[in-house]
Amino acid sequence: MSSLISFKMVPYRSLLLCSSCEMTQEMVDNIGANDGSIKEQDRLLPIANVGRIMKQIVPPNAKISKEAKETMQDCVSEFIGFVTSEASEKCRRERRKTVNGDDICCAMETLGFDDYAGMLRRYLHRYRELEGEKANQDKAMNNTEK
């Protein structure tokens, strides 16, 4: 499957994966539901965000058409649903209700996106390290104020 799809990795600052951004099973179940209860605008990533990420990649003087942004919006929204669905299945098999960053990385490996999964695992590890450092600093600040 991965040989048919080619993705360019965006800079780490563009990724929105974090360990504290976990999804409940109910949220995952609602992703991609096509029974008419979810509006298209709720199913897709905001086009302004997609355009902003695309703009970071192209040369400063390049223009991006509305059609290109909408196409990318559809593709990335579908990709996120695809990966999340696989992660959700893993959680169901393990009788867990919360999808976390490690589940997303595992799903990407299962789906054949090993290179991206490795990068995301490193990003997730570094993110957790920084969050731990921040928590320790906040704790130290609170202790000195007392």
- Which tokens sit at 117? 């999964």
Q: What is the pLDDT of residue 17?
A: 37
pLDDT in tens, the chain (146 residues): 333 333 333 333 333 333 334 445 555 455 445 555 677 777 899 999 999 999 999 999 999 999 999 999 999 999 999 999 999 999 999 999 999 999 999 999 999 999 999 999 999 999 999 999 988 888 888 887 76
- Which tokens sit at 80? 């996120």
Rounded Cα gap, residues 19 and 102, in angstroms: 8
What's the distance, CA 23 to chain centroid? Answer: 11
Q: What is the pLDDT of residue 7?
A: 35
Angle subtended at Cα 9 by Cα 12 and Cα 103, rounded to the nearest 5 degrees: 70
Rounded Cα gap, residues 140 and 112, in angstroms: 43
Q: What is the pLDDT of residue 36?
A: 54
Q: CB-based contacts of 90: which residues, under 8 Å, 6+ apart?
A: 103, 106, 107, 110
Contact predicate 47/67, CB 8 Å: no
Rounded Cα gap, residues 44 and 31, in angstroms: 10
Strand partners, 24: 98
Q: Give the predicted TM-score (pTM) of the model.
A: 0.65
Q: What is the pLDDT of residue 43?
A: 83
* Residue among 42, 47, 53, 44 nearest 16 (CA): 53
Contact predicate 68/54, CB 8 Å: yes
